[in-house]
Amino acid sequence: MASIAFKRVSKAFDKHEVIKDLDLTIEDGKFTVLVGPSGCGKTTLLRMIAGLDPQTSGSVLIGGKDVSRIAPGKRGVAMVFQNYAIYPTMSVRENIEFGLVNNKVRKAEREELVEGISKAVGLYEYLERKPSTLSGGQRQRVALARAMVKKPSVFLMDEPLSNLDAKLRVQMRIELIELHKKLGATFVYVTHDQVEAMSMADTIVLMNKGVIQQEAPPDEMYRRPSNRFTAQFIGTPPMNVGELGESGSLFGFRPESAVLSEAQGDEPFSVRGVIATREMLGSETIYQVRSGSGNYMVKCSEDLFAAGQEVYVGVPAAKLHFFGEDERRIDEKESSYGKCMEALRGRSHG
């Protein structure tokens, strides 16, 4: 098994620098999800681990060893591509077997491995078929089996589920989590979908414009976002963020942290507004409240209000987040935290 480390890694395409001086350690045996908006450099990072598009400067270490000069096929990594990249002229068996043949695994052992893996992913009956006769989900499994059969210490996956329909995607998510538990290998999974990241990851690495914004387990990333970008990228609807006055600091709260009521409470954040829209989603309802200081999304488990109704939006102190002028999180222990809270309370209660 192997951990992965980036040491001051930069990557440029021609003159265009996509990643600059990046440091990152991906823990051995963990399910790490790289998430971020489209074009932020996730695929680039993954391809540097695989060695398909090596870094311009800096070094990449797998299992503590600098792999900069090691060919992709000899790094002990396997990759599942977004478009599966199955060899179309080979049968399912030949697809799965190709890496083993190249690694000079004996025929008897090869057959045993292919048989075992194909049974595990439900492809055993399809071994002699050509990929063109398979469904999207089955092709996905061929790609997975092809990666698994080599017993790599690192699994790389680039948006592997994005070509599947919603139902299959949820099912595959669970299967991948189970697969990770079973194999115990290091998984690096790329997605632009924060829900996928939250539901699958041991550790989320959130990127924006080639820079790592935060590296944390899902619950911490959700509860203690380290900056405004993280706060608003993770969670739907995104965190409400507003300005705190002249200081340039920001406050924020999650839609489900707010309470709606008809009378003003004594929470530090409490504003009057009108319900502009109401989205009833069954188990919960999402209101958009329009107030003098801005629009706020509020998620309630009960459906008590109607559009056009006047309400108070209140948020308790423990659920408030503050960000400095530089959009970085202000921690409870910092001295400016109290000041921010005072400013907010002053604004709400006059």
Partner 1 sequence: MTKAWRYTGLTLGYLLKTAILIVFVFPFLWMLSTSLQTYRETLSYPPTLVPAMPQWINFAEAMSAGPFLTYFKNSAIVTLSIIAIQLLVMIPAAYAFAKYKFPGKNILFSLVLLAFMIPGQVTFIPVYLMMADWGIAKTLLPQIIPFMSNAFGIFLLRQYFMQIPEEIVEAARLDNAGEFKIMRKIMVPMSMPALATIALFSFVSHWNDYFWPLIMTDAEAIRPLTLGIAMLRETEGISNWHIIMAGNVVLVIPILLVYLFCSKQIVKAFVYSGIK
Ligand X SMILES: Nc1ncnc2c1ncn2[C@@H]1O[C@H](COP(=O)(O)OP(=O)(O)O)[C@@H](O)[C@H]1O
In the block, tokens 């990557």 appear at: 11
* Beta strand extents in 27-121 (DSSP E only): 31-35, 57-62, 65-66, 77-80
For residue 237, what is the DSSP state?
S
The structure tokens listed for 201 are 């990851």
Using CB under 8 A, which of 1, 12, 85, 304 touches partner 1? 85
What residues between 245 and 274 interact with ligand X by CB under 6 A? Answer: none
**Does residue 186 interact with ligand X by CB under 6 A?**
no
**Of 179 and 207, which CB lies nearer to Mg ion in the complex structure?**
207
**Of 48 and 275, which CB lies nearer to ligand X in the complex structure?**
48
Is there a contact between 200 and 51 (Cβ–Cβ < 8 Å)?
no
d(CA 123, CA 120): 8
Could you tell me the sign of the dihedral formed by the alpha carbons of 29, 42, 193, 315, in that order?
positive
**Does residue 208 interact with Mg ion by CB under 5 A?**
no
Using CB under 8 A, which of 131, 255, 273, 324 touches partner 1? 131
Task: Give which of Mg ion, ligand X, partner 1, none residue 277 binds (C-beta under 5 to 8 Å, depending on kind).
Answer: none
What residues between 150 and 179 interact with partner 1 by CB under 8 A? Answer: 150
What residues between 19 and 58 interact with Mg ion by CB under 5 A? Answer: 43
**Does residue 13 interact with ligand X by CB under 6 A?**
yes
Q: What is the largest CA-CA distance in the chain?
A: 80
Task: Give which of partner 1, ligand X, Mg ion, none residue 135 binds (C-beta under 5 to 8 Å, depending on kind).
Answer: none
For residue 330, what is the DSSP state?
P
**Does residue 77 interact with partner 1 by CB under 8 A?**
yes
**Of 44 and 138, which CB lies nearer to ligand X in the complex structure?**
44
d(CA 5, CA 3): 7
Task: Give which of Mg ion, ligand X, partner 1, none residue 50 binds (C-beta under 5 to 8 Å, depending on kind).
Answer: partner 1
- E strand or H helix at 211, and its extent? strand 211-216
Q: Which of 253, 311, 317 is nearest to 287 (CA)?
A: 311
**Of 20 and 130, which CB lies nearer to partner 1 in the complex structure?**
130
d(CA 77, CA 158): 13
d(CA 238, CA 232): 5
**Of 42 and 254, which CB lies nearer to ligand X in the complex structure?**
42
**Of 38 and 301, which CB lies nearer to ligand X in the complex structure?**
38
For residue 52, what is the DSSP state?
S
- E strand or H helix at 117, and its extent? helix 107-120
Angle at 43 between CA 211 and CA 219, to 5 degrees: 60
**Does residue 89 interact with ligand X by CB under 6 A?**
no
**Does residue 349 interact with partner 1 by CB under 8 A?**
no
What residues between 24 and 83 interact with ligand X by CB under 6 A? Answer: 36, 38-44
Q: Measured at CB, which residue is nearest to Mg ion? A: 43
**Does residue 99 interact with partner 1 by CB under 8 A?**
yes
Binding site for partner 1 (CB under 8 A): 50, 52, 71-74, 77-79, 81-83, 85-90, 98-99, 102-103, 130-132, 146, 150
Binding site for Mg ion (CB under 5 A): 43
Binding site for ligand X (CB under 6 A): 13, 18, 36, 38-44
